[in-house]
Amino acid sequence: MSDTPDLAPRNPTRAVPVGPVVIGGGHPIVVQSMCATHTQDVDASVEQADALHAAGAGVVRLAVDSKKDADAVIEIGKRSAATLCIDLQESYRLALDVAPYVAKLRYNPGHLYHHEKSKSSRDKARFIADTAGAHDCAVRIGVNCGSVDPAIADKFGDDHVGAMVASAVEHCDYLDEHGFTRYVVSLKDSDPHKVIEGNARFAGQRPEVPLHLGVTEAGLLPDGAIKTRIAFEQLVARGIGDTIRVSLTLPNPRKPEEVRIGHEILDDIAAGRFRSVPDLGDRLNIISCPSCSRVENEAFVELAEDVRELSRYAEEHAVTIAVMGCRVNGPGETDDAGLGLWCGPTHVNLKRHGEVVGAFGYDEILGRVKAELDALIGVASG
């Protein structure tokens, strides 16, 4: 954890206990991370959770998408020294299985509609809150710009940030009305400027709610750290943010680097060291999700690196290439990219401006990416 001096007064957020950690209420900003191991691999998950904890992660997250994942969490919770948070993915009812063994539950409002469509999002959110309350857990309402509830997204059209903020405020209202206030909120995007705008707008409406900051799918180093620094410098310096996550595409053994970089950024802000950063808007932009336990083929990390190397010749062109590692973030969050890749167990699904091109083997995808990138550049230069 890192203390931040009065660059701007910290937002007067309420304190939210997460196990032995306290988020908000003027407490030091907490650095978090997420395991990239498969949750059912208990030994590997315990090892990585403990490595992240040792690196300075106050909270460590695990993905849970099945009963087998939930069963593994029970053993991980017994063996790991880390304070654990569970990402409920689309299966919100798994909260019942994991809540007794962890300190926090995270859900994405945009994923609640996938199951039990006859039930309202309000009822599902209240189910999570009731489960958390019964087992002394905190909750994170985790909104991602690329997966906002379609009912809200349709109302806002091209105002993606507005839709993200509205979704967060709506779910805060659901929990508040239900008498549950032990929650934090995150509003994330792969564009640091949208992260800045979204969090600033939300903080203006709900200044008492602790905020978890992060640039999702920030990608590979060094650009991933640069994008993250852009958002954190702007927000933390304004007094916005109570906990942070640095999301980088890294091989499993290097995941603790996320924590180290998070602490470095906070320490620099605390010391008044604001680094100049390049304008990332008018050139090639590669975004890729953090390697996590949702990844279905670990070749995804190598593929992201290969795509970066392959595309260097296009650096002066304003094209975004998104490389996503799983079916949870992949289908929706590649839609806004010029080229979008989301990786399955054996094939990579390729989109061009949101339209499906096809599914290709890992041994053939780079050639197709090159052809599609050439075509995009040709159209842009046209």
Instruction: Verify that 363 and 264 share a domain, yes or no.
Output: no
Tokens read off for 309: 């190397």
Question: What per-residue confidence (pLDDT) applies to 352?
Answer: 92
% of residues, the chain, pLDDT over 90: 67
Question: What per-residue confidence (pLDDT) applies to 301?
Answer: 83
d(CA 215, CA 210): 17
Show the domain range for 364.
295-381
For the chain, counts of helices (H) and of strands (E): 12, 15
Task: Judge whether residue 3 has pLDDT over 50.
Answer: no
Question: What per-residue confidence (pLDDT) applies to 91?
Answer: 87
Question: What per-residue confidence (pLDDT) applies to 276?
Answer: 40
Question: What per-residue confidence (pLDDT) applies to 285?
Answer: 80
Task: Judge whether residue 328 has pLDDT over 70.
Answer: no
Half-sphere exposure of 66 (CA within 13 A, CB side): 8
Instruction: Verify that 337 and 196 share a domain, yes or no.
Output: no
Considering 255, 270, 285, which residue would you say is the last residue of a domain?
Answer: 270
Per mean pLDDT, which range of 150-154, 195-199, 258-262 is the poorest?
Answer: 150-154
Considering 270, 286, 318, which residue would you say is the last residue of a domain?
Answer: 270
Give the confidence band of 218 by pLDDT, cuts at 50, 70, 90. confident
Instruction: Verify that 128 and 197 share a domain, yes or no.
Output: yes
Higher-confidence residue of 309 and 7: namely 309
Q: Which residues contact 279 (CB under 8 A, 6 or more apart)?
A: none
Give the confidence band of 30 by pLDDT, cuts at 50, 70, 90. very high
Say which residue the tokens 């590692």 belong to: 325
137-147 confidence digits (pLDDT tens): 999 999 998 88
Report helix, strand or coil for 349. Answer: strand
d(CA 84, CA 79): 11
Average pLDDT, the chain: 90
Give the confidence band of 279 by pLDDT, cuts at 50, 70, 90. very low
Report helix, strand or coil for 318. Answer: coil
Instruction: Verify that 375 and 239 share a domain, yes or no.
Output: no
Q: Is residue 286 part of a domain?
A: no
Give the confidence band of 232 by pLDDT, cuts at 50, 70, 90. very high
Helices (H), the chain: 42-55, 67-79, 95-98, 121-134, 150-156, 160-177, 192-205, 223-236, 256-270, 299-310, 330-333, 365-381
Instruction: Verify that 106 and 208 share a domain, yes or no.
Output: yes
Higher-confidence residue of 337 and 60: namely 60
Give the confidence band of 108 by pLDDT, cuts at 50, 70, 90. very high
Residue 53 belongs to domain with CATH number? 3.20.20.20
Region 16-35: what's the mean pLDDT? 97
d(CA 214, CA 222): 16
Q: Considering the entire predicted model, what is its pTM? A: 0.78
Give the confidence band of 270 by pLDDT, cuts at 50, 70, 90. confident
118-130 confidence digits (pLDDT tens): 899 999 999 999 9
Cβ neighbours around 86 below 10 Å, total: 28
Residue 331 belongs to domain with CATH number? 3.30.413.10
Tokens read off for 12: 């007067």
Q: Is residue 2 part of a domain?
A: no
